[in-house]
Amino acid sequence: MSLKWLITYVVCWCFLLSKKSVAGVKTYTIGAIFHEDSDDIETAFECAVKHFNTFNTAISFRTRILHVPNDNSFTVYHEFCQMLEDEEDGLVAIFGPPSTPSVDIIDSIASKIELPNVQIHSSSYLWPNQSFNLYSINVHPGLEQLQIGIGKIVESLQWKVYAILYEDIESIIRLQQVLRLTHVGKEHVVLRKIDPTTFRPVLKELKKLGYAHIIIDYDYRYLIEILENAKALDMDAHTVDLSHLDILANITTMTITDMNDKFTYRFVKECDIGRTISINNSVDIPNTYVKFRPGLMWDAANIFMNSFFELHLTENHLVTKATCDGKETTGHGFRLANYMKIRLIPNTITGEIQFQNDQRSTLVLHVIEMMHGHATKTAVWSSANPEMVSFVRSEKEQKNLIDLYIKNTTFIVTSKTGRPYLMYKETEDPDEVLEGNDAFEGFTFDIIDHISKMLNFSYKFMITANNKHGSYDKEKKTWDGLMGDILNRRAHLGICDLTITEERRSAVDFSLPFMTLGISILYSKPKPQERDIFAFMDPLDPVVWLYIIAAYISITLSMYFLTRLAPGDWENPNPNDPDPEELENIWDLKNSSWLILGSTMSQGSDILPKGLSSRMGISMWWFFILIISSSYTANLSAFLTTSRLGPNIEGAESLASQTKIKYGTLNGGSTQSFFKQSNYSIYQRMWAQMSQAKPSVFVNDYAEGIKRVKTAKNQLYAFIMESSSIEYETERDCELKQVGGRLDSKGYGIAMPVNAPYRTAINSCILKMQEDGTLRGLKEKWWKEMHGGGACKEETDSSSSDMKLALDNIGGVFVVLFSGVGIACLLALAEFFWNVYSVSVEEHKSYKQILITEVQFFLKVWKTKKRTYEVSRSRSNLSNVAEVYSTLTKKED
Ligand code: GLU
């Protein structure tokens, strides 16, 4: 301390002591009006006066306190007048009352008798801009600052969906800037007035609607009651010990008293008000929780007493007794009130206090976050820099706090069952019942397990009701499935094949994607055709076959007649006779039909017509057969190939352009929303077809969709699902295949509440797992190895074997061949027996004799020449003649 200051200091004390010793300590009376229930404020007031008297030896104050009812202005008026009446030395100021109903009456009396009126109530919300009484000093923050501050803090929380619960019109005015942040009444923000009778139903309704962020502007004394149903945000909420409340919620409150300030701490200690919690191993002052009204009263009392004292130094106050009728006024009020408004005020516990236009113009709001029952200051808003909220935790502090939170929390992980993401573990012993996490296995289970090991937390899996991913019901305004669990704070994390979508993102936060995929089509491979040995007939319609037969008969007849008419077909039967007596026509019905048949089979014939007209006729037949047989050949190969490939779909476009094959998606999933919301005409067309299809083409889970694809008759159902799951299914079920590419590209993420403190930590785990190949390894394990993966590897080239024609396809040709040859054999036998009969008749021999001769000859297969019966007969006749001749000659001899 410099010498100059030391001298000044000593002189001052000498001056004060001399005054005290000369005039004695002058005591002034401060009046104060409180309600019966304003204990803390009264304590703060008394404590401030006591504090001043202890440290000030020049003057002292005593208090005169009046307790008045809350709602009876008439009584307040009378009691205050009585107080003035009774106070012989007069009052130096009147403090209070602390709440609005009777403020005006005291204010008007004070103004009439020029008595300073120090107030701590919130300025009139209904007429915020009304001009203040010259004798009033209100240390309560101005309404406009409060509105802006609350608005900015709520904005900084970045909530998109929230509910506002308010007490009365004043709450609404206070929250005006918050209401301006968004369109209340539109989808994402609801506003509800509450009172103790409606806490339960309103909070129940909000829970049902899935509102996880709730702003509550209500008397803090009801906070515990409200918090038992929900979470809170209130100016004094941070003072309530919430550690016994078993809630998952983060509670954010705001206050104007700085909980880490040494003056606040001193105030709390000295006045035995509020509570303090010392921070372990820290040299910092303990966290101090104090209600803001006692704080305001402490500041107000100090401002007044110090101002009064400072004016007292220069001029001895002449305080006179004033009365309600206004005949007597105090005389000092105007100067004192004005001095208080311009004086620099140090060491306050409600932040810097300055006045502008008779209102307090400065405000600092401290944002307090409560986690596991501990409150920490996270951010500060100041009217000096109204556009920004500054976060006060250092990055390291923030990280440590989050680490602590993560370690101390058992994470509830909501999920749904679905292969291979999460499945119930199968046990070898059927009687063994697995419980808790042991009951599950799967890809997502492993991911959470890895993350839990990295971050060192414990977790517990639960299966969401209805086993749904999560879709939004616009009518009920609720989310179901995993999304509902996260929004209703039933779980910290939600993981399954949950696609990150814009709609879901507006309600919850997602981690970085742990898998990327797209929508694609699952379809069945063509089933082995039912074999038809007469498939060679299929290329031509049965009617065409009938027409060909009819054409064959009619052309045969036509040729028969044509050749009879055509002179060229009448020929000389004996070419050695140049001048024959008769001409011969070889074109009987037998030859005509043989000629037509020969050319039908592309074999031609050894005899051909020679007449002009008959040649013309046969040429037309050949032309006809040329076209028919080449059409048949071409059609046969195409027909056999396509019938084995099944219906031809190549992707979404080809599905959209047909109506025969039905297709659908999972009900309520992101794939369904993709088509519903698409602006692309093909997908819109597909959505129209899907939504109008009867019976419904939508299914309740993937298993149902896959079954439908496999069992649909003639492959008439395709299922649109996500490529990751298609890949899994086609690895195991070789009857299934993916058709076409991906229609879009997206990812699966872990869902968590908006601004969840553990989000960054989870994201870095996912990145790490991506970089070190863990995610890839897990994919390999669950897709290719576990539960029958890789079963369809060898199947990929099976299509070429499908291309071969099996006997069953062309067996009919053999049937025709052998049955034709069989008939030929029968005909041959018939001809043979008929010939035997004819010979026996002709030769006058017995049938049996001829038959034996013929069969014997037939069995001598080496003989290729056969004697006719006529020759044999003449030979036998000759031998008979020779016999007769030799007998005769023998006789002559
Ligand atoms: N992954 C989808 C979702 O999160 C469900 C499956 C689908 O819609 O195909 O909604």
Mind listing the pLDDT tens digit for each residue in 144-188? 888 899 999 988 887 777 888 998 888 888 888 888 876 554 556
Pocket mutation for ligand 1, best pick of 467, 469, 709 (most atoms within 8 Å of C-beta): 469
For residue 672, the CA-to-ligand 1 centroid distance in Å is 8
For residue 587, give every residue at least 6 positions away whose Cβ sits within 8 Å of its Cβ, in sequence order, or none: 559, 560, 563, 564, 569, 609, 614
Q: Whose CA is nearest to atom 5 of ligand 1?
A: 669
Residue 587 has pLDDT above 80, yes or no: yes
Q: Please tell me if the CB atom of residue 666 comes closer than 6 angstroms to any atom of ligand 1.
A: yes
Tracing tokens 């104090």 back to the chain, one arrives at 290
For residue 709, the CA-to-ligand 1 centroid distance in Å is 18
Report for 9-13, 16-20, 752-756, 804-808: range of highest mean pLDDT: 752-756
CB 721 within 8 A of CB 730: no
Identify the pLDDT of residue 232: 42
For residue 700, the CA-to-ligand 1 centroid distance in Å is 11
Q: Please tell me if the CB atom of residue 499 comes closer than 6 angstroms to any atom of ligand 1.
A: yes
User: What are the start-end ranges of the E strands in 71-143?
Assistant: 91-95, 117-119, 136-138
Q: Please tell me if the CB atom of residue 671 comes closer than 6 angstroms to any atom of ligand 1.
A: yes
Q: What is the DSSP letter of 734?
A: T
Lowest mean pLDDT among 207-216, 505-514, 649-658, 841-850: 207-216
Stretch 607-614: mean pLDDT: 85
For residue 469, the CA-to-ligand 1 centroid distance in Å is 7
CA 357/CA 143 separation, integer angstroms? 13
Q: One-letter amino acid identity for 115?
A: L
Q: How confident is the model at residue 643 (pLDDT cuts 50, 70, 90)?
A: low
For residue 510, the CA-to-ligand 1 centroid distance in Å is 15
Residue 62 has pLDDT above 70, yes or no: yes
Stretch 566-577: mean pLDDT: 84
Identify the pLDDT of residue 797: 47
Residue 427 has pLDDT above 80, yes or no: yes
Q: How confident is the model at residue 856 (pLDDT cuts 50, 70, 90)?
A: confident
- Residue among 113, 84, 570 at smallest CA distance from 332: 113
- Residue among 85, 88, 70, 74 at smallest CA distance from 33: 70
Q: Please tell me if the CB atom of residue 670 comes closer than 6 angstroms to any atom of ligand 1.
A: yes
Lowest mean pLDDT among 32-36, 579-583, 742-746, 784-788: 579-583
For residue 770, the CA-to-ligand 1 centroid distance in Å is 22
Atom index in ligand 1 nearest the CA of residue 720 equals: 9
Stretch 473-477: mean pLDDT: 86
Binding residues, as ranges, are 499, 504, 670-671, 722
CA 724/CA 520 separation, integer angstroms? 9
CB 136 within 8 A of CB 119: yes
Q: Whose CA is nearest to atom 8 of ligand 1?
A: 669
Q: Please tell me if the CB atom of residue 592 comes closer than 6 angstroms to any atom of ligand 1.
A: no
Residue 469 has pLDDT above 90, yes or no: yes
CB 608 within 8 A of CB 553: no
CA 323/CA 223 separation, integer angstroms? 43
Stretch 81-103: mean pLDDT: 84
Pocket mutation for ligand 1, best pick of 419, 498, 723, 728 (most atoms within 8 Å of C-beta): 498
Q: Please tell me if the CB atom of residue 497 comes closer than 6 angstroms to any atom of ligand 1.
A: yes
Identify the pLDDT of residue 803: 56
Pocket mutation for ligand 1, best pick of 670, 700, 723, 725 (most atoms within 8 Å of C-beta): 670
pTM of the complete model beyond 0.85: no
Atom index in ligand 1 nearest the CA of residue 499 equals: 4
Stretch 403-416: mean pLDDT: 91
Identify the pLDDT of residue 8: 40
The size of the chain, in residues, is 893
Identify the pLDDT of residue 600: 85
Residue 734 has pLDDT above 60, yes or no: yes
For residue 747, the CA-to-ligand 1 centroid distance in Å is 10
Tracing tokens 């001399």 back to the chain, one arrives at 18
Lowest mean pLDDT among 61-65, 187-191, 775-779: 187-191
Q: One-letter amino acid identity for 106?
A: I
For residue 359, the CA-to-ligand 1 centroid distance in Å is 57
At CA 155, angle to CA 151 and CA 160, rounded to 5?
125
For residue 478, the CA-to-ligand 1 centroid distance in Å is 18
Q: Which residues is 287 bridged to in the sheet?
A: 277
Stretch 566-588: mean pLDDT: 84
Identify the pLDDT of residue 5: 43
Q: One-letter amino acid identity for 588?
A: D
> DSSP string of 839-875?
HHHHHT--HHHHHHHHHHHHH-TT------HHHHHHH
Handedness of CA 415, 502, 728, 527 (dihedral sign): positive
Digit-coded pLDDT (tens) for 187-236: 567 889 999 888 888 888 887 776 778 888 888 778 777 877 654 444 55
Q: How confident is the model at residue 15 (pLDDT cuts 50, 70, 90)?
A: very low
Pocket mutation for ligand 1, best pick of 497, 702, 724, 745 (most atoms within 8 Å of C-beta): 497
For residue 789, the CA-to-ligand 1 centroid distance in Å is 22
For residues 810-823, one letter each, b for 16 or more C-beta atoms within 10 angstroms of the residue's C-beta and e for the rest, the string is: bbbeeeeeeeeeee
For residue 802, give every residue at least 6 positions away whose Cβ sits within 8 Å of its Cβ, in sequence order, or none: 526, 644
Identify the pLDDT of residue 831: 85
Atom index in ligand 1 nearest the CA of residue 721 equals: 9
Tracing tokens 């077909």 back to the chain, one arrives at 569
For residue 673, give every residue at least 6 positions away whose Cβ sits within 8 Å of its Cβ, in sequence order, or none: 471, 501, 503
CB 324 within 8 A of CB 84: yes
Residue 581 has pLDDT above 50, yes or no: yes
Q: One-letter amino acid identity for 138?
A: N
Atom index in ligand 1 nearest the CA of residue 471 equals: 10
Identify the pLDDT of residue 377: 82
Stretch 41-61: mean pLDDT: 91
CA 371/CA 287 separation, integer angstroms? 14
Q: Please tell me if the CB atom of residue 498 comes closer than 6 angstroms to any atom of ligand 1.
A: yes
For residue 682, the CA-to-ligand 1 centroid distance in Å is 20
Residue 474 has pLDDT above 60, yes or no: yes
Atom index in ligand 1 nearest the CA of residue 470 equals: 10
Residue 317 has pLDDT above 80, yes or no: no
For residue 499, the CA-to-ligand 1 centroid distance in Å is 6
Count Cβ atoms within 10 A of the Cβ of residue 575 and give its class: 0-12 exposed, 13-18 middle, 19 or more buried: exposed
CA 803/CA 343 separation, integer angstroms? 100
Q: How confident is the model at residue 301 (pLDDT cuts 50, 70, 90)?
A: very high
Identify the pLDDT of residue 531: 65
- DSSP, collapsed to helix, strand or coil, labels residue 581 as coil
Atom index in ligand 1 nearest the CA of residue 497 equals: 1
Q: Please tell me if the CB atom of residue 480 comes closer than 6 angstroms to any atom of ligand 1.
A: no
Report residue 19 as tokens. Answer: 């005054």
Residue 796 has pLDDT above 60, yes or no: no
Residue 360 has pLDDT above 90, yes or no: no
User: What are the start-end ranges of the E strands in 242-388?
Assistant: 251-255, 275-277, 287-289, 355-356, 359-360, 364-371, 374-382
For residue 466, the CA-to-ligand 1 centroid distance in Å is 14
Binding residues for L-glutamate, as ranges, are 499, 504, 670-671, 722
Identify the pLDDT of residue 135: 83
- DSSP, collapsed to helix, strand or coil, labels residue 40 as helix
For residue 853, give every residue at least 6 positions away whose Cβ sits within 8 Å of its Cβ, in sequence order, or none: none
Q: What is the mean pLDDT of the chain?
A: 83
Identify the pLDDT of residue 211: 76
Lowest mean pLDDT among 450-454, 621-625, 882-886: 882-886
22: left (phi over 0), alpha (psi -120 to 50) or beta: alpha
CA 591/CA 745 separation, integer angstroms? 73
> DSSP string of 171-200?
HHHHTHHHHHHS-TTSTTEEEEE--TTTHH
Pocket mutation for ligand 1, best pick of 464, 499, 725 (most atoms within 8 Å of C-beta): 499
For residue 39, the CA-to-ligand 1 centroid distance in Å is 58
Q: Please tell me if the CB atom of residue 722 comes closer than 6 angstroms to any atom of ligand 1.
A: yes
Q: Where do the domains of the chain lie, and which CATH numbers do they carry?
A: 22-140+296-337 (3.40.50.2300), 143-255+363-393 (3.40.50.2300), 395-516+747-794 (3.40.190.10), 519-529+648-744 (3.40.190.10), 539-572+585-642 (1.10.287), 832-892 (no CATH)
Q: How confident is the model at residue 7 (pLDDT cuts 50, 70, 90)?
A: very low
User: What are the start-end ranges of the E strands in 334-392?
Assistant: 355-356, 359-360, 364-371, 374-382, 389-391
CA 687/CA 824 separation, integer angstroms? 63
Residue 496 has pLDDT above 80, yes or no: yes
Residue 2 has pLDDT above 50, yes or no: no
Identify the pLDDT of residue 529: 62
What residue spans of 772-806 are helical by DSSP H? 774-779, 798-803
Q: Please tell me if the CB atom of residue 469 comes closer than 6 angstroms to any atom of ligand 1.
A: yes
Digit-coded pLDDT (tens) for 364-399: 999 888 766 667 788 899 998 888 888 887 777 778
Q: Please tell me if the CB atom of residue 669 comes closer than 6 angstroms to any atom of ligand 1.
A: yes
- DSSP, collapsed to helix, strand or coil, labels residue 500 as coil
